[in-house]
Amino acid sequence: MIYLLDIIIYAIIVSAVSFLSIFLITPAFIKYLNKKGKVVVDYHKPGKPNVPRPAGPVLLIGLVISEITLYFLILDVKIISVLLTTIIAFIVGYIDDVKTMPGWFKPAALILAAIPIIILGSHGDYLGLIFDSAFIPILYILLILSIIPIVGNTINSIDVFNGVASGFIIITMIPLLVSVILFGSTNVFLMGLPLLFGSIAIYQYHKFPSKIFLGDSGTLLLGSMYASLSIVGNSEIIGVIALLPAVMNSFLFLSSVKKIVEHRQVKTRPVAVCDDFRLMASKDSSAPATLVRLILARGPLTEQEIIRRIFILGTFSSILAFISIVIQYSFMMGEISL
Amino acid sequence: MRLFGLFMLIFIMWMMIMIVSYFLVFIIGPLQVNLFYNSTDRLVSSIIKASLAIGLVVVLILLLGILKTKYLQKTLLRN
- Which pLDDT belongs to residue A108? 93
Cβ contact A130–B21 (<8 Å): yes
Cβ contact A240–B17 (<8 Å): yes
- Stretch A170-191: mean pLDDT: 97
Q: Higher-confidence residue: A24 or B76?
A: A24
- Which pLDDT belongs to residue B10? 95
Q: How far is CA A224 from CA A79, A153, A160, A230, in A?
A: 14, 9, 18, 10
User: In angstroms, rounded to a whole number, what is the distance separating the alpha carbons of residues A148 and A224?
Assistant: 5
User: In angstroms, rounded to a whole number, what is the distance separating the alpha carbons of residues A180 and A176?
Assistant: 6
The average confidence (pLDDT) of chain A is 93
- Which pLDDT belongs to residue A152? 96
Is pLDDT at A63 greater than 90 in this prediction?
Answer: yes
Cβ contact B76–A289 (<8 Å): yes
Q: Report which of A74, A39, A19, A80 is spatially closest to residue A210, judged by C-alpha positions.
A: A39
Query: Hey, which residues 304-333 in chain A have their CB within 8 Å of chain B?
Result: 309, 312-313, 316-317, 320, 324, 327
- Which pLDDT belongs to residue A334? 84
**How far away is chain A from the Cα of B36, in angstroms, using its nearest Cα?**
23
pLDDT tens across A31-61, in order? 999 999 999 999 988 889 999 999 999 999 9
* Farthest CA pair distance, chain A: 63
Q: Write down the pTM of the prediction.
A: 0.94
| ipTM of this predicted structure | 0.91
**CB–CB of A52/A30 below 8 Å?**
yes
pLDDT tens across A258-278, in order? 776 666 667 778 888 998 889
| DSSP secondary structure, A231-269, as one string | HHTT-HHHHHHHTHHHHHHHHHHHHHH-S---GGG-SS-
pLDDT tens across A94-152, in order? 999 999 888 889 999 999 999 999 999 998 888 888 998 888 888 889 999 999 999 99
Chain A residues inside the 8 Å CB shell of B5 = 294
- Which pLDDT belongs to residue A264? 66
Chain A residues inside the 8 Å CB shell of B71 = 294
- Which pLDDT belongs to residue A30? 98
User: In angstroms, rounded to a whole number, what is the distance separating the alpha carbons of residues B63 and A198?
Assistant: 37
